[in-house]
Structure 1
């Protein structure tokens, strides 16, 4: 450590000069009054006083330095504590702002997502309804386009069934003949044309029923399929053939289909 005493000693300061003057004055007075006294060496006195002052000054300086050091350490410690408190408060504020921003962002995102989902759902429902209407229209178009073919197919199936039934039960011709004559007899004399395989059966049937041969005349016409008949009157023809009845039914069905 740099000692202050060295600096003071190097200057050869004399700090007791006023005391020496006073001392000399007192000595002069005593000299007049009494015997001569021994006077101390001024240099020795000055050195001792300087050493005492230096020691006192050094002690004071050390005390001031210690106090300054303690105060400085306290100021630094307080500054550090305050800085840490400010930093901690700033971090807490930042964390709070982050959480608030995350919460706000989550709520905004959730609301936006729900709204987007509702819009997509509405679009999907509109698309579904549009597709349903388009499919319904296509179904109607296909049915309308295929309906004549379906009707024709049904008639063909009916034809096959009727012919098969007539083969299995030939007496079904009686029902057909009765229905045909019921329509034709109101117009007067009737000529009933049948296939040769049905001629005798129809003739016997008419005789059993007491039908007047003058009113109903039975003729053979092999262009007519067996199981059917054709009644000619003065005013027109009543078609009792299987094919004729099927074609009439087909015509009615097609008319209804096209009109509907």
Structure 2
């Protein structure tokens, strides 16, 4: 029997091939299952690849973020260290200015002390702060006491107070004095005046800051 079936439809011939009897279709089923399995394996592989890629990407981003955070913290620590060093340098520089200025003031004062009239000016300015007192005690260096005894300064001061007493004290620098009275005391020692200069410099620097 022929395996070709002829159909006459509107004068056109159609040919249909019919497989011969006994043809095995199982091979087609095997190919279909193999293709499906292959596609499923490819799908699983791609899915695993995507998951692995995303996981690796996330880990790299996290590692990068952690490293960036550490570097940022280190940077700010270094910056803070620099700022602290600058502050320390400024403080050291300020101290140097104060020390140098004080030394200059000391040299000027000691240079002026060589002038015998320094104690006279010191006493005149000091007694102005205790005008109204009746009894006063003036402590001065023995060298200055000799000077005011000879130049008449001692007698001039005795005119302003009802009772005045001079005490010679070697602990008081030449050019300075310490006055005690019932209305208050006046510290006109050279060391005290230099301390006041130093404090004035320190306060001036603090105000500027």
CA deviation digits over 1:189-238, x for unaligned, max 9?
22110011111333430314662463332111111011111111235431
* Counterpart check, 1:244 vs 2:192: yes
Match of 1:150 among 97, 100, 107: 97
- Which residue of structure 1 aligns with residue 125 of structure 2? 179
- After superposition, the Cα gap between the structure-2 partners of 1:170 and 1:259, relative to the gap in structure 1 and judged at 3 Å, is same
Q: Secondary structure at the match of 2:131?
A: helix
| SS in structure 1 at match of 2:175 | coil
Residue 108 of structure 2 corresponds to residue 193 of structure 1: no
Pick from 94, 106, 116 the counterpart of residue 170 of structure 1.
116
Cα displacement (A) at 1:257: 1.6
Would you say the 8 A contact 1:192–1:231 is kept in 2?
yes
Paired residues of 2:134 and 2:161 also in contact (CA < 8 A): no
TM-score scaled by length of structure 1:
0.42
Structure-2 residue corresponding to 1:36: none
Tell me by how many angstroms 1:152 deviates: 2.2
- Once the two structures are superposed, residues 32-65 of structure 1 have per-residue CA deviations (whole angstroms, 9 ceiling, x without a partner) of xxxxxxxxxxxxxxxxxxxxxxxxxxxxxxxxxx
Query: Would you say how many aligned residue pairs link Structure 1 and Structure 2?
Result: 125
- Structure 1: 5+ residue runs without aligned partners? 1-136
Whether the 8 Å CA contact 2:179–2:187 is kept in 1: the answer is: yes
Instruction: Give the match for residue 201 of structure 2.
Output: 253
Q: 1:221 matched to which residue of 2?
A: 169
Shift of 1:140: 7.6
Q: Is the 8 A contact 1:184 1:232 kept in 2?
A: no
Q: Is the 8 A contact 1:191 1:216 kept in 2?
A: yes
Structure 1 runs (4+) greater than 6 angstroms displaced: 137-141
Q: CA deviation at 1:142?
A: 3.7
Q: Which runs of 5+ in 2 are unaligned?
A: 1-83
Q: TM-score, normalised by structure 2?
A: 0.51
* 1:228 and 1:242 in contact (8 A); partners too: yes
Of Structure 1 and Structure 2, the greater strand share is in: 2
Identify if the C-alpha distance between structure 1 residues 201 and 175 changes in structure 2 by more than 3 Å, giving closer, same or farther.
Answer: same
The 2-side partners of 1:149 and 1:231 are apart by 33
Structure-2 change in CA distance of 1:187 and 1:253 (3 Å): farther
After superposition, the CA RMSD in angstroms is 2.8
**Higher alpha-carbon Rg:** 1
- Structure 1 residues 183, 153: closer, same or farther in 2, change over 3 A? same
Q: CA deviation at 1:247?
A: 0.3
User: C-alpha displacement at 1:188, in angstroms?
Assistant: 4.3
